[in-house]
Structure 1
Amino acid sequence: MVVGDEGQILTAFHVVKGARGLIVRATDRQVFEAEVIAADPRSDLAVIAPISTPGLEKPKLKPIPLGDAGALRKGSFLVVLGNPFNAARDGKASASWGILSNVSRRIDQDIDDVSFTRRAPLQLPNYPTLLQLDAKLNLGMSGGAVVNMKGELVGLTTMASSPAGFDAMAGYAIPMDRMGRRAVETLKKGKEIEYGLLGVRPHLQSTNRVETVAPNSPAALGDLQRNDEIIGVNGTPVFDFDSLILAIGAYSVGDSIRLLVRRDGQEIEKPIVLAKFPVDGEVIATTQPPAWRGLRVDYLSTLNARPAGIDLVDALPAGVVVREIEPDSPAARAGLKKWQIIRQVGDQPVVDPAQFAKAVADLNGPVTLLTDQGPIVVR
């Protein structure tokens, strides 16, 4: 579904993941090549865009307006567009219709039958986020538009709920609510979606009671304590750990939020500045922040995304982590490696990418970076 003035097309990430090439068939029998400009494995959303070809006219595509899935109610009439069984060779999507059966549904985690471990990282569809539809969804409908009676995009189909070989009478869709619209606007720009991180582990029963607070995390810096009950995020009620994850995930790294906490029978408000949630899986972002001497850094909390990452409740030291080293750059020649921790630029401590960028902005000549493996001079 077209969502941008430059022809950006929203789809489900699992539809285009790993594709060697993309061919798009649009209305008026337009056929063109496209590429993934941004994708987020946590939300299972991706945006693709037409590839400019010299001598060929740009495809004529009209974006659909985004609606607000938060305004939907059970029983709302919806239209679902898609390409079942790859039948739409003329670029005209097939339509199905039905009602919104329910909201805040989830897809069960993919659990190994022998080891009882997850086969894949948790995604937002594994939390109670999805719209449940009674519109008929067949193979090939993933990434299709869910449209309200105003012609606005309010969801993106992600999977059917019926077992293979049975009549598919229900399906699920990723909602275009506050979190969904933020994701789309970010992906349209080719940027990475950054989710907020609090830094707590819940009680064993996944309630809203805090079991562990990570040292040096936003929660620790905001004075959250073990056995605190988190009952609200910026006015949004929190009932369990799932609702806390979703409430925090609606905000980005660096955002300031207000937590309503119940402690010893008293309700208190705690201001928190969020760190960055480490997303598992392949993140695609073609619009990157500028590199400094071939070096890009990220929040320390993203260390959990590496193969042998820290636990979210392990102590987070102060500093930034090396995210990317460009080949044959000054940073590469200095011996910097991915996942190293930079604590200081010269004698100036840095705790986030913004501070690092400010610290190196006007520096010339050799610069000493204090890392977890000792000082390194970048020339």
Structure 2
Amino acid sequence: MFWLNGRFGIEVVTAWEHRAVGWAWRRGLCVGVGVWSLVIAAAGWNGGAACWGQDQNHAAPPNPPASAPSPLEIVQALETATIDAIQRAEASVVAVARYRNTENPDVTTAIRGQRPRVEPRPRRPGLLVLDDEMAGEPTGPRDFGSGVIIGPNGAILTAYHVVHGAARLEVRARGGLLFEAEIVGADPRSDLAVIAPRNPAVAAEAQLTPLPLGNAEQLRKGSFLLALGNTFDAAREDGRVSAALGILSNVDRKLMTPPDDFAQPQLRHLPTLLQLDSKLNLGMSGGAVVNLKGELVAITTAAGNPASFDPQAGYAIPLDGLGLRAVEALREGREVEYGFLGIRLDQETRTNRIEGVTDGTPAALGGLLTNDLILEVGGRAVSNADQLVLAINRMPVGEEVPLKIERNGDRLLKTVVLSKLRIQADWPVIVTTKPPSWRGARFDFTSAVFAPNDLNVLSEMSRGTVSVSEVEPGSPAFQAGLRAGQVIIAIDGQPVATPKQALQRLNERNGPVTLDTHRGQVTIPAP
């Protein structure tokens, strides 16, 4: 049976498999639409069936329709579903303008908390006079991209490369409303960022509509997808974004790393990206990829491969488990955390076999050995180095993760507590909500405090898995001599394994506390 399900899908089932309409034919091919199917009002057709070759021993369905829907009516139904999905989503997609500082074009200053808060007035097309708070701000060069409203407070998800280097950000919403925005959080590894109106009242006054989040893991090749964004800055004046319809061409795509780029590979260099069947034009970066239910499932990126590697192909950053976790952290202004195992892999063969394990790393503490072959991470199968790194990155830090390995032909199950990967990129991690402190000190995993390519990081991890990440000047911790980079071995003689555990134990103590560090003991008095 060809079944038009109202969500732009056509399923083929035999007549006896379909029970929604109450028919029980054992043979035959039917064309039908059930009670919940899409209604084609223009044709005055509400559902029914026309069948050929049915078993003559079975009664015909009651009140059969005069005729089956024509091919044109089916196409019109699909067209209606597309139009409806665009209308549901387009009000949540905005145009983003980036103004760089002419003296320091690569320095990002449009960050929450780094500029005095003002009370900007929403502006609409035709208002030529800049608001008072714009006086003295840099006025060029101007770049453009897209964004998607994802929160009731006006939080806007976009691509990091759209807002990097911004001295000022302006957002043009549907209806022409123009307001200034600031960065809440940005993550160079995923190339995602969240911005929000500088004036919190703008979100309520403008009635900014958030787009519901879907899950890209439910997508399959051939899924119908809509891409909406600020193509060629077409939405600059009125906020009316452009739309394109296509299918999901492929999954788990990756961009080629430039030959002269020796930096840490980012997620786009691992098999993470969705590939659409159309190229994305200039200005589409940060735009929405939605399914026909009107759910946001990916963020478009027009930052394609280097020359000779399909430049500016239709790629998108999926909102899968890892992507949704990143979005949740960024909208709260927190750092996106990625799992770190602490093993060495063969960079030439790029297999999932361990080339080396060092004492103190999660791998060593979990009982992994050189030449072990990692087969699964948290139940997710891996068969090469890229899949292994990505699977580790997906896992939450500081929590137990099961690993299935092969050692000398035997299958074994190991459990590790992952540390946190330190992000190394050309652009900084932007965080506006810092983790809680204790007497002026903040703590993190040693693997996140020291650079992964630092020759001392593994030796430092062998001394302790928790280190001091920041000490506020003038605080009790600072005055006692505690400094960033010190590895915490024990608290009042008790070893600690994670920053969460360290903070919990410190908060339980009211008096002086002695920290054993790799540079000696530090006693911090009560404030």
Relative to the length of structure 2, the TM-score reads: 0.66
Q: Tell me, in whole angstroms, the C-alpha distance in 2 between the residues paired with 1:169 and 1:125.
A: 13
Q: Tell me, in whole angstroms, the C-alpha distance in 1 between the residues paired with 2:312 and 2:258.
A: 22
Partner of 1:155: 298
Q: Tell me, in whole angstroms, the C-alpha distance in 1 between the residues paired with 2:291 and 2:212.
A: 11
Contact 1:80–1:135, Cα closer than 8 Å, also in 2: no
Mapped pair 1:289 → 2:432: no
Partner of 1:248: 392
* Mapping for residues 39-58 of structure 1, pairs under 5 Å: 39-52=186-199, 58=205
The more displaced of 169-178 and 141-150 is 169-178
Q: Tell me, in whole angstroms, the C-alpha distance in 1 between the residues paired with 2:163 and 2:276.
A: 23
Mapped pair 1:68 → 2:211: no
Contact 1:35–1:50, Cα closer than 8 Å, also in 2: yes
Q: Using the TM superposition, give the Cα deviation of residue 15 of structure 1 relative to its aligned residue in structure 2, in angstroms.
A: 1.1
165, 171, 182: which is aligned to 2:314? 171
Q: Tell me, in whole angstroms, the C-alpha distance in 2 between the residues paired with 1:272 and 1:233.
A: 10
Partner of 1:35: 182
Partner of 1:343: 489
504, 507, 512: which is aligned to 1:358? 504
Unaligned runs of 5+ in 2: 1-147
Partner letter of residue 224 of structure 2?
Answer: F
Size of the alignment, in residue pairs? 374
Residue 324 of structure 2 aligns to a residue whose secondary structure is: helix
Distance 1:238 1:353, change over 3 A: same
CA offsets per residue over residues 72-113 of structure 1, 9 Å max, x none?
Answer: 22222211111122221211211122222211111111332x
Partner of 1:105: 253
Contact 1:110–1:120, Cα closer than 8 Å, also in 2: no
The more displaced of 56-65 and 179-188 is 56-65
Partner of 2:44: none
The more displaced of 68-77 and 174-183 is 68-77
244, 258, 261: which is aligned to 2:405? 261
Distance 1:218 1:319, change over 3 A: closer
329, 332, 337: which is aligned to 1:189? 332
Distance 1:65 1:53, change over 3 A: closer
Partner of 2:15: none
Q: Tell me, in whole angstroms, the C-alpha distance in 2 between the residues paired with 1:25 and 1:334.
A: 50
Partner letter of residue 154 of structure 2?
Answer: G
| Superposed CA RMSD | 2.5
Partner of 2:285: 142
Q: Tell me, in whole angstroms, the C-alpha distance in 2 between the residues paired with 1:317 and 1:75.
A: 51
Q: Using the TM superposition, give the Cα deviation of residue 280 of structure 1 relative to its aligned residue in structure 2, in angstroms.
A: 1.5
Partner of 1:115: none
Residue 331 of structure 1 aligns to a residue whose secondary structure is: helix
Partner of 1:214: 358
Q: Tell me, in whole angstroms, the C-alpha distance in 2 between the residues paired with 1:312 and 1:241.
A: 20
Structure (1 or 2) with the larger CA radius of gyration = 2
Mapped pair 1:318 → 2:461: no
Percentage of identical aligned residues: 51
Distance 1:230 1:31, change over 3 A: same
Contact 2:447–2:461, Cα closer than 8 Å, also in 1: no
Q: Tell me, in whole angstroms, the C-alpha distance in 1 between the residues paired with 2:158 and 2:233.
A: 15
Q: Tell me, in whole angstroms, the C-alpha distance in 1 between the residues paired with 2:163 and 2:506.
A: 38
The more displaced of 49-58 and 173-182 is 49-58
Distance 1:10 1:323, change over 3 A: same
CA offsets per residue over residues 156-195 of structure 1, 9 Å max, x none?
Answer: 112254878xx98832111111111111122222211111
Q: Using the TM superposition, give the Cα deviation of residue 207 of structure 1 relative to its aligned residue in structure 2, in angstroms.
A: 0.6
Relative to the length of structure 1, the TM-score reads: 0.91
Residue 302 of structure 1 aligns to a residue whose secondary structure is: helix
Q: Using the TM superposition, give the Cα deviation of residue 319 of structure 1 relative to its aligned residue in structure 2, in angstroms.
A: 4.5
Distance 1:150 1:111, change over 3 A: same
Q: Using the TM superposition, give the Cα deviation of residue 255 of structure 1 relative to its aligned residue in structure 2, in angstroms.
A: 2.3
Q: Using the TM superposition, give the Cα deviation of residue 228 of structure 1 relative to its aligned residue in structure 2, in angstroms.
A: 1.1
Q: Using the TM superposition, give the Cα deviation of residue 304 of structure 1 relative to its aligned residue in structure 2, in angstroms.
A: 3.3
Q: Using the TM superposition, give the Cα deviation of residue 334 of structure 1 relative to its aligned residue in structure 2, in angstroms.
A: 2.3
Contact 2:490–2:515, Cα closer than 8 Å, also in 1: yes
Q: Using the TM superposition, give the Cα deviation of residue 61 of structure 1 relative to its aligned residue in structure 2, in angstroms.
A: 1.3
